[in-house]
Amino acid sequence: MVNYGGDEVSALVLDIGSSSVRAGYAGDDIPKAIIPSFYGYKATTVDGDVQMGGNAPENFESTTKQTPSDAKLYLGQNGPSIWREGMEIGNPVRDALIFDFNPIPALISHALVDVMRVNPSEHPILVTEPAWNTPANRERMAEIMFEEFHVPAFYIANTGVLNAFAAGKGSALVIDVGHAMASITPVVDGFVLRKGLVSSALPKLVQAHARHILSNPTQTRRGIELLPHQLIANKLPVEPGAPPKFSLREDRLSGTTESWRVWCESREVEEWIQSVAGVLDQGWNDQAAASRPARQYEFPTGYNTYFGPERYQVGEQFFFHSPQLVAQNPNLPKNIPTLLSESLRACDPDLRQVLMGNVVLTGGGSLFPGFADRLEAELSRNFPHVKIHAPGNPIERRYGGWLGGSILASLGTFHQLWISREEWQEHGKPIVGQRCK
């Protein structure tokens, strides 16, 4: 028992991300509950200030509205994905930070009580936070846990550190490409070097680019209608490239809110990205892109076509931005090579070798085919000894932060770090900052 250092105290691990909330027992290798962070809500008292026009598709800032606290929430797998009349879609997380704490207790409760069927007051809980989390945010999280869920002990750990732990490393350069944010976190001896921490909303740019590719007409095809299957009554099979034959569910159109439609469209784009998009492993090259086989994809409308080089343009946005794109958008999210050099410049010269030898690639956004190869090619061009740890298992890649938390919270030596209920009551909020460095 002592040999491997594990001592399980049936702790829970909760990882709230931009696209999903992961919860499970410490010591497991897969979170038991994975529910979307998006939720549906219907304001019970419909007030007049509902303005939906702000969410233009080309705008990659997510919604900034806060959910009214008395709204009816629809959570989990059957929450946002089911069409309901007048249901809005919200997400409490923006730029990987929780900005709206109103639906958070409900989300946590859904994951722990409804899905995992546990009583949170019986288990110590470890929550994750991004490296750029604010002290106020983590204190608020501790407050929710202690005051609303009555947990016996609480700890909040950094996703960068946890991703390094999940890879079995104490010091690492963690490249985390998530749903909303791409970040590079230098971790030394289990501590984040805050000066070397960089992040950008790169995945949002990639999604916007994909949406642009799909919805704008090209020489060979018209713009694609990104309609979700919930709004389609029936459809007929058509030849690739032929206009789709389908009919809409007219009864639902009037009750569909703008936020739900935007959410559905972004889901369609994401589905397309996940099944079709890729990254060229040796930099952009028109010939190489053209030589790759085209892939067929069918949209819910029944429209289907083959996607050739354009599917690699999507992944290319991670690594290279064309000069005209940079010229058009002055505050374009920085691409990964830029982030890397920025992060390394902030680190001590002695550390650079260590970090480059322990690059950890994680996050669901890094699952583009060829992403790890491309990263390796980019890095080895500039640094002599690069070693990239990129788990081949998609579960480990997507839930690396949760996995590291699962490892950490099941270690015998960790149990003296928990913030107990007693300490919380005695010291109040400052204890979080003191304990969770």
Partner 1 sequence: MAVSASDIRSALSLPSSSTLVQSTTPAPRKSQGQITKKPEGISRELYALIGPSAPSLVAHLAKPRLKQKPNFGSGGKVKWEWRPFRNAGRTDSLQLGHWVKAADDPGAEYPFTKYNVQSQSYTYSQEEYTRFLEDKDWTKDETDHLFNVVREYDTRWYVVHDRYEPPPDGPTRSLEDLKDRYYSVCRKLIRNRPWTGDEASKAQLLNSYQFDKDRERMRKDYIASLEDRTPEEIAEEEALFIELKRLEQNERKFKKERDELLRTLLGIDSGLPDIVAEEDGLSALSAEGFKKRKKNANEIEIPSTPSNIISLGPPPPKRAHSAKSAAYDAQHCILRVEPPASSTTKITHTPVHLRSFKLPAPKAALLPKVTQALTELGINPTRLVMPTRENCTRLESLIEATTALIDTKKVVDRVEQDIRVLRVRLGRASEGAEEDGKEGTPMEVDGGAGAGADVDADADADAEGEVDGRAQSILSTRSGRGRKQVRYSSQILSMPI
Which residues of this protein are in contact with partner 1, per CB under 8 A? 1-2, 5, 7-10, 124, 152-153, 188-189, 191-196, 347-352, 412-413, 415-416, 418, 420-423, 426, 437
Determine the 3-state secondary structure of 397 from DSSP.
helix
Closest contact distance (angstroms) between CB of 384 and partner 1 is 9
Distance CA 86, CA 130 (A): 33
Look at residues 20, 27, 19, 35 and name the one whose alpha carbon lies nearest to residue 404: 27
Closest contact distance (angstroms) between CB of 9 and partner 1 is 4
Closer by beta carbon to partner 1, 124 or else 178:
124
Closest contact distance (angstroms) between CB of 390 and partner 1 is 24
Check the CA dihedral 254-257-263-266 and report its sign.
positive
Distance CA 15, CA 157 (A): 10
Task: Name the burial class of residue 211, with classes exposed (0-12), middle (13-18) and buried (19+) by CB atoms within 10 angstroms of its CB.
Answer: buried
Closer by beta carbon to partner 1, 216 or else 382:
382
Say which residue the tokens 């750990």 belong to. Answer: 157
Closer by beta carbon to partner 1, 193 or else 213:
193
Closest contact distance (angstroms) between CB of 414 and partner 1 is 9
Closer by beta carbon to partner 1, 1 or else 136:
1
Closest contact distance (angstroms) between CB of 350 and partner 1 is 7
The two tokens of residue 159 are: 């996703």
Closer by beta carbon to partner 1, 72 or else 437:
437
Closer by beta carbon to partner 1, 71 or else 192:
192
For the CA atoms of the chain, what is the radius of gyration? Answer: 23
Closest contact distance (angstroms) between CB of 140 and partner 1 is 22
Mention every residue, 6+ apart, whose C-beta is less than 8 A from residue 96: 17, 18, 130, 132, 178, 180, 181, 183, 199
Closer by beta carbon to partner 1, 62 or else 158:
158
For the stretch 359-369, what's the b/e string if a residue is b when 16 or more beta carbons lie within 10 angstroms of its beta carbon?
bbbbbbbbbbb
Distance CA 300, CA 292 (A): 25
Closest contact distance (angstroms) between CB of 169 and partner 1 is 15
* Cβ–Cβ < 8 Å for 224, 269: no
